[in-house]
């Protein structure tokens, strides 16, 4: 989704800004632009399409200057175009603004500034900010003008701005859309960015801007203020990711690299967290809230997309092994229904890879408002959700760059297994069951490796079915959510229309679709519902739909029932989603390639969805 980079120092700003934008490319965008400033003018270039287009324009018409701001846009108001791309200028071209988020009252503000005689060029909500600043700045400093404008804005924003009146400054403001400030190693250059990834080539030292804070970056440093204009103190923190982690490292695609990292991801998620003698999970991030967790009567899990599906698998684990009733909600629904929560005996688990998804963050804030304990299952350290939850467990998957989640999903499900042990052992789970789960978690990385070795076979399978118009995924119990996840992966990166169903639901509608042109991917590993899924697969076969099955290693008996097979090692039923999802990820990846699409950057999608 939209990305921001700003630079002040002595280097050519355009080079630093374009490199920063490239590092944000993975988040998904449709246009890009940058602007630099000196005391006479703002130089601006912005184009629809890829950063490579922007870079070629800058190569032909170099942009000078050592202070500048840049942006990748993911269209919300107005289609992707050169004009709608950021930065946006005021009428006189003396102020430039880049913006992440959505200004909800922009229509009203737009009418107001048009009435005052301003000429707007774009259809965006952002441009109104440049004109509002122009209105205010007549008899004020930029900083004063900014404070007066911020109180007029409703909605969410991460903003970076430059102005010819104060050409050696960058102004930034945050409400709801993340911004970090970077301090150059020698403290002679400074950065602002929506994601630390944008500036990792230059510095490790960052400060997170909080909501309703304003920052002023100049040659002498960074100052931050609250909306009531008081100075705020910020802690300098270290970026936890490395340049190497942000690169493809020999793989053709980030998604392929991330799928191959999954054995290590599980190892990292469980590292130092298992007591194999007592069958306990040791989760330091929950130590302050242990008493509240012991008294819990019910849990709610919220998230979006794959994060919500990981939570669904977690809910089956927690109910079966920890005896806790769990309610799973899409974050976008949770925040607008009227959830009934008991602050004394309930808690909410908020699942998010990025820690910045707008709906998930909204759901977290709604839950906090209601006074319930909030627990994060988050990947990005330092993200808004990680910082705003009362307690939490990091999944330690490392940066996930491909838009479609793979390793973060697997890490989230692994953390739910740890949470199940943690909460289960407080409420009746025996030591031996705890030990069994711990032992099985320990060997999962090797089992994932065995699945990854079938890559070539899965690539051939993907080619065989790649041109089917539709595909259905089915599974039951723990693997119903895996079926949904398999279908989600397939549609999001290959654009092959795919739907996931709980296998028992086939008869209640979807079966009408079955015919020889509709491949059905069935999750039928040996578990407590195996016989039930087998019956469902018989029903599919009777309608002559091809069956591609994910089955337990050595289960030759299934061969006669299916057209094609992908094997996975045996494991505990509750952990089977961690293995079963991997062939489905591979199938989606190679289907996308066979259909000629880039799996890393699917059309219309963004890695981190920071608008509602
Ligand atoms: C986007 C991504 C998905 C992800 C979802 C939730 O849609 O493409 O892969 O599952 O957002 O993101 P989060 O960062 O909150 O896990």
Q: In this structure, is residue 609 part of a structural domain? A: no
Residue 306 CB–ligand 1 contact under 6 Å: yes
In this prediction, residue 250 carries a pLDDT of 87
In this prediction, residue 604 carries a pLDDT of 87
Domain match, 142 and 164 both: yes
Counting from 1 in the atom list of ligand 1, the atom nearest the Cα of 412 is 16
User: Residue 294: which H helix or E strand, with range?
Assistant: helix 290-294
In this prediction, residue 319 carries a pLDDT of 97
pLDDT higher than 90, residue 132: yes
Domain match, 334 and 378 both: yes
Domain match, 178 and 268 both: no
Residue 378 CB–ligand 1 contact under 6 Å: no
Q: How many other CB atoms are found less than 10 A from the CB of residue 23?
A: 23
Domain match, 270 and 211 both: no
The mean predicted confidence, pLDDT, of the chain is 95
Domain match, 201 and 335 both: no
Q: In this structure, is residue 606 part of a structural domain? A: no
CATH number at residue 17: 3.60.20.10
Residue 307 CB–ligand 1 contact under 6 Å: yes
| CA–centroid distance, residue 601 to ligand 1 (Å) | 13
Q: What is the 3-state secondary structure (H, E, C) of 512-530?
A: HHCCCCCCEEEECCCCCCH
DSSP 87: P
Contact yes or no for 611/29 (Cβ under 8 A): no
Q: Which of 416, 451, 486 is the last residue of a domain?
A: 451
Crossing angle between the packed helical segments 576-594 and 480-494, to the nearest 10 degrees = 20
In this prediction, residue 288 carries a pLDDT of 95
Which residues neighbour 151 within 8 Å (Cβ) at sequence distance 6 or greater? 227
Backbone angles phi, psi at 327, to 5 degrees: -115, 125
**String of DSSP letters for 467-500:** T-SEEEEEE-GGGHHHHHHHHHHHHHHH--EEEE
From 28, 381, 600, 608, the mutation candidate for ligand 1 (largest count of ligand atoms within 8 A of CB) is 608
Counting from 1 in the atom list of ligand 1, the atom nearest the Cα of 404 is 9
From 380, 382, 405, the mutation candidate for ligand 1 (largest count of ligand atoms within 8 A of CB) is 405
Q: In this structure, is residue 308 part of a structural domain? A: yes
Task: Specify the higher pLDDT residue, 25 or 113.
Answer: 113
Contact yes or no for 261/245 (Cβ under 8 A): no
Q: In this structure, is residue 605 part of a structural domain? A: no
Residue 582 CB–ligand 1 contact under 6 Å: no
Domain match, 67 and 155 both: yes
Which ranges of 378-471 does DSSP label H, i.e. alpha helix? Answer: 384-388, 407-424, 431-452, 455-465
pLDDT higher than 80, residue 611: no
Counting from 1 in the atom list of ligand 1, the atom nearest the Cα of 360 is 15
Q: In this structure, is residue 603 part of a structural domain? A: no
In this prediction, residue 167 carries a pLDDT of 97
Average pLDDT over residues 98-120: 94
pLDDT category of residue 18 using cuts at 50, 70 and 90: very high
Predicted TM-score (pTM) of the model is: 0.86
| CA–centroid distance, residue 76 to ligand 1 (Å) | 18
CA distance 582 to 571: 14
In this prediction, residue 129 carries a pLDDT of 97
CA 513-516-517 angle, to 5 degrees, is 75
Cα radius of gyration rounded to whole Å, the chain: 25
pLDDT in tens, 167-178: 999 999 999 888
In this prediction, residue 247 carries a pLDDT of 83
CA distance 409 to 415: 10
pLDDT in tens, 467-482: 999 999 999 999 999 9
In this prediction, residue 571 carries a pLDDT of 98
Residue 404 CB–ligand 1 contact under 6 Å: yes
From 254, 305, 379, the mutation candidate for ligand 1 (largest count of ligand atoms within 8 A of CB) is 305
Q: Whose CA is nearest to atom 15 of ligand 1?
A: 352
**String of DSSP letters for 214-230:** EEEEETTEEEEEETTS-
CA distance 264 to 256: 14
User: Residue 47: which H helix or E strand, with range?
Assistant: strand 42-48
In this prediction, residue 246 carries a pLDDT of 80
pLDDT category of residue 25 using cuts at 50, 70 and 90: confident
In this prediction, residue 605 carries a pLDDT of 87
pLDDT in tens, 470-525: 999 999 999 999 999 999 999 999 999 999 999 999 999 999 999 999 999 999 99
Which residues neighbour 230 within 8 Å (Cβ) at sequence distance 6 or greater? none
Tell me the catalytic residues.
2, 607
Q: What is the 3-state secondary structure (H, E, C) of 142-196?
A: HHHHHHHHHCCCCECEEEEEEECCCCCEEEEEEEECCCEEEECCCCCCEEEECCH
Domain match, 234 and 274 both: no
pLDDT category of residue 294 using cuts at 50, 70 and 90: very high
Domain match, 153 and 91 both: yes
Q: In this structure, is residue 133 part of a structural domain? A: yes
What is the CA 345 to chain-centroid distance, rounded?
30
Which of 169-173, 251-255, 338-342 shows the lowest per-residue confidence on average (mean pLDDT)?
A: 338-342
In this prediction, residue 607 carries a pLDDT of 82
| CA–centroid distance, residue 516 to ligand 1 (Å) | 33
pLDDT in tens, 368-390: 999 999 999 999 988 899 999 99
Domain match, 476 and 395 both: no
Written as six digits, the tokens of 588 are 């989606």
pLDDT in tens, 415-442: 999 999 999 999 999 999 999 999 999 9
In this prediction, residue 559 carries a pLDDT of 87
Please choose, from the candidates 323, 296, 307, 330, the residue with its C-alpha nearest in 3D space to the C-alpha of residue 395: 307
Query: Considering the chain, what percentage of its residues have pLDDT values greater than 70?
Result: 100
| CA–centroid distance, residue 316 to ligand 1 (Å) | 21
Residue 354 CB–ligand 1 contact under 6 Å: yes
Which of 69-78, 94-103, 345-354 shows the lowest per-residue confidence on average (mean pLDDT)?
A: 69-78
Average pLDDT over residues 247-269: 94
In this prediction, residue 240 carries a pLDDT of 79
Contact yes or no for 496/468 (Cβ under 8 A): yes
Contact yes or no for 310/326 (Cβ under 8 A): no
CA distance 576 to 569: 9
pLDDT in tens, 199-239: 999 999 999 999 999 999 999 999 999 988 999 999 999 98
Average pLDDT over residues 343-361: 95
| CA–centroid distance, residue 216 to ligand 1 (Å) | 32
Residue 353 CB–ligand 1 contact under 6 Å: yes
pLDDT category of residue 455 using cuts at 50, 70 and 90: very high
CA distance 575 to 413: 8
Domain match, 393 and 463 both: no
Residue 406 CB–ligand 1 contact under 6 Å: no
Strand order of the β-sheet with 346-352 is 326-330, 298-303, 346-352, 373-378, 391-394
pLDDT higher than 80, residue 612: no
| CA–centroid distance, residue 294 to ligand 1 (Å) | 30
Please choose, from the candidates 452, 475, 487, the residue with its C-alpha nearest in 3D space to the C-alpha of residue 568: 452
Q: Which of 222, 239, 256 is the last residue of a domain?
A: 239
Domain match, 177 and 30 both: yes
Kindly tell me the burial class for residue 250, based on how many C-beta atoms sit within 10 Å of its own C-beta (0-12, 13-18, 19 or more).
exposed
Residue 255 CB–ligand 1 contact under 6 Å: no
From 307, 481, 493, the mutation candidate for ligand 1 (largest count of ligand atoms within 8 A of CB) is 307
Residue 403 CB–ligand 1 contact under 6 Å: yes
CATH number at residue 293: 3.40.50.10490
Contact yes or no for 507/539 (Cβ under 8 A): yes
Residue 259 CB–ligand 1 contact under 6 Å: no
| CA–centroid distance, residue 300 to ligand 1 (Å) | 19
Q: Specify the residue for token string 């989704």.
A: 1
Q: Whose CA is nearest to atom 1 of ligand 1?
A: 607
Q: 542 lies in which domain range?
A: 454-598
| CA–centroid distance, residue 304 to ligand 1 (Å) | 6
Q: Which residues pair with 547 in a beta bridge?
A: 520
| CA–centroid distance, residue 306 to ligand 1 (Å) | 6
Q: Which residues of 92-122 are buried (b: 16+ CB within 10 A; e: fewer)?
A: eebbbbbbbbbbeebeebbebbeeeebeeeb
In this prediction, residue 26 carries a pLDDT of 79
Residue 587 CB–ligand 1 contact under 6 Å: no
Q: Which of 239, 273, 308 is the last residue of a domain?
A: 239
Counting from 1 in the atom list of ligand 1, the atom nearest the Cα of 380 is 14
Which ranges of 323-428 does DSSP label H, i.e. alpha helix? Answer: 331-334, 358-369, 384-388, 407-424
Residue 304 CB–ligand 1 contact under 6 Å: yes
pLDDT in tens, 524-583: 999 999 999 999 999 999 999 999 999 999 998 888 899 999 999 999 999 999 999 999
| CA–centroid distance, residue 287 to ligand 1 (Å) | 28
Domain count for the chain, please give it. 3
**String of DSSP letters for 238-266:** E----TGGGS-TT-SSHHHHHHHTHHHHH
Q: In this structure, is residue 310 part of a structural domain? A: yes
In this prediction, residue 363 carries a pLDDT of 96
Q: In this structure, is residue 611 part of a structural domain? A: no
Q: Whose CA is nearest to atom 5 of ligand 1?
A: 305
In this prediction, residue 245 carries a pLDDT of 80
Domain match, 198 and 332 both: no
């Amino acid at each position: 989704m939209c990305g921001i980079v700003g630079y002040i120092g002595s280097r050519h700003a355009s080079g630093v800004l374009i490199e920063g934008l490239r590092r944000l490319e993975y988040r998904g965008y449709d246009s890009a632009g940058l602007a630099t400033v000196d005391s006479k003018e703002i130089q601006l270039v912005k184009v629809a399409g890829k950063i490579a287009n922007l870079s070629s324009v800058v190569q032909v018409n170099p942009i000078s200057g050592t202070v500048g701001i840049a942006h990748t846009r993911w269209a919300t108001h107005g289609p992707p175009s050169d004009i709608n791309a950021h930065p946006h200028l005021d009428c006189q071209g003396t102020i430039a603004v880049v913006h992440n988020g959505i200004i909800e009252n922009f229509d009203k503000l737009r009418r107001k500034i048009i009435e005052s005689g301003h000429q707007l060029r774009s259809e965006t909500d952002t441009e109104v900010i440049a004109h509002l600043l122009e209105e205010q700045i007549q008899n004020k400093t930029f900083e004063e003008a900014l404070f007066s404008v911020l109180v007029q804005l409703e909605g969410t924003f991460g903003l970076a701005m430059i102005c010819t009146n104060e050409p050696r400054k960058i102004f930034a403001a945050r409400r709801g859309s993340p911004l970090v400030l970077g301090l150059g190693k020698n403290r002679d250059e400074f950065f602002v960015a929506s994601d630390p990834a944008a500036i990792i080539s230059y510095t490790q030292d960052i400060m997170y801007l909080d909501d309703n804070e304003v920052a002023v970056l100049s040659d002498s440093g960074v100052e931050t203020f609250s909306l009531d204009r008081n100075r705020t103190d910020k802690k300098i923190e270290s970026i936890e990711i490395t340049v190497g982690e942000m690169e493809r490292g020999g793989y053709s695609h980030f998604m392929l690299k991330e799928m191959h990292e999954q054995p290590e991801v599980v190892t990292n998620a469980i590292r130092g967290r298992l007591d194999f003698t007592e069958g306990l999970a040791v989760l330091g991030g929950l130590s302050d809230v242990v008493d509240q967790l012991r008294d819990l009567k019910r849990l709610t899990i919220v998230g979006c997309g794959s994060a919500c599906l990981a939570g669904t698998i977690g809910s089956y684990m927690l109910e079966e092994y920890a005896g806790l009733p769990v309610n799973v909600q899409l974050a976008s629904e949770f925040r607008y229904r009227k959830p009934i929560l008991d602050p004394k005996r309930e808690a909410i688990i908020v699942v998010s890879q990025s820690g910045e998804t707008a709906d998930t963050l909204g759901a977290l804030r709604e839950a906090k408002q209601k006074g319930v304990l909030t627990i994060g299952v988050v990947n990005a350290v330092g993200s808004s959700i990680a910082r705003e939850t009362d307690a939490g467990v990091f999944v330690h998957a490392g940066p996930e760059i491909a838009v479609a989640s793979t390793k973060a999903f697997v890490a989230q499900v692994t953390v739910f297994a740890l949470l199940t042990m943690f909460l289960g052992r407080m409420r009746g789970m025996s030591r031996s069951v705890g030990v069994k789960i711990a032992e099985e978690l320990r060997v999962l990385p090797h089992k994932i490796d065995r699945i990854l070795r079938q890559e070539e076979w899965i690539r051939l399978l993907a080619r065989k079915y790649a041109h089917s118009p539709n595909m259905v995924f089915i599974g039951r119990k723990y693997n119903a959510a895996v079926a949904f996840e398999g279908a989600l992966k397939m549609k999001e990166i290959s654009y092959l229309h795919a739907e996931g169903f709980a296998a028992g639901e086939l008869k209640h509608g979807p079966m009408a679709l079955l015919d020889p042109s509709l491949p059905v991917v069935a999750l039928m590993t040996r578990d407590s519902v195996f016989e039930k899924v087998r019956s469902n697969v018989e029903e599919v076969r009777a309608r002559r739909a091809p069956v591609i099955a994910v089955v337990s290693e050595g289960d030759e008996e299934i061969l006669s029932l299916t057209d094609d097979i992908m094997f996975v090692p045996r494991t505990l039923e509750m952990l089977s989603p961690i293995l079963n999802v991997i062939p489905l990820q591979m199938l989606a990846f190679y289907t996308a390639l066979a259909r000629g699409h880039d799996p890393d950057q699917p059309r219309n999608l963004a890695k981190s969805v920071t608008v509602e």
